[in-house]
Amino acid sequence: FGASGPETRPQIASRAVRWLAYLHPIAMFAVLALGLIVMLEGLQIRQARVLRRPYANRRHRRFARVFLFLAIAGFVSGLASMAFLRDKPVFESVHALLTSLALTGFLVGAALGRKLERELGSNLRAPHAIVASAGLLFALAALVAGFAILP
């Protein structure tokens, strides 16, 4: 079928540059852990609401803002890593598709959360939770797919 044999990966020239290529996955693993903490905070808010108990959602909102900023920064750093450190096409992997879907889920979830913040009685709680959780699921899938493109 025209296959010329196993694909070989080009070697990254210096050890410093090779180390930088691993910085993105390590940092994004930590960002994903923060995302799971944000989700757990959201679940605690939901549980308190169901049980009709007071619960301050300040930490959820604060962590979510930090998480969103770090997720965007991680997305951009991943693009830069592929393009400049590894000299590879940027959007040709399953990992890129999954991270794009994850970031979309985070951004839409953040927009819904912001609107929910302003309109406390609105019916946006379920869509906010579903979309943001879908973003986290795509991010977890991207984590697994990212192993295939490590140097």
Contacts of residue 85, defined as CB under 8 A and 6 or more positions apart, other chains included, come to: 12, 17, 20, 21
Q: Which residue has the tokens 């869509």?
A: 127
Token digits for 28? 């994004």
- Residue 22 to residue 44: CA distance in whole angstroms: 34
Amino acid in the structure at residue 41:
E
| CA 126 distance to own-chain centroid | 20
- pLDDT reported for residue 12: 53
Buried b (16+ CB within 10 A) or exposed e, 74-93: bbebbeebbeebbeeeeeeb
- Residue 92 to residue 98: CA distance in whole angstroms: 11
Token digits for 73? 């920064």
Q: What is the DSSP letter of 148?
A: G
pLDDT tens, per residue, the chain with 151 residues: 444 544 455 555 577 677 777 888 899 999 999 999 999 999 999 999 899 999 888 999 999 999 999 999 999 999 988 888 778 888 889 999 999 999 999 999 999 999 998 987 779 999 999 999 999 999 999 999 998 888 7
- pLDDT reported for residue 11: 54
- pLDDT reported for residue 84: 83
- pLDDT reported for residue 8: 52
- pLDDT reported for residue 13: 55
Check the CA dihedral 123-128-129-131 and report its sign: positive
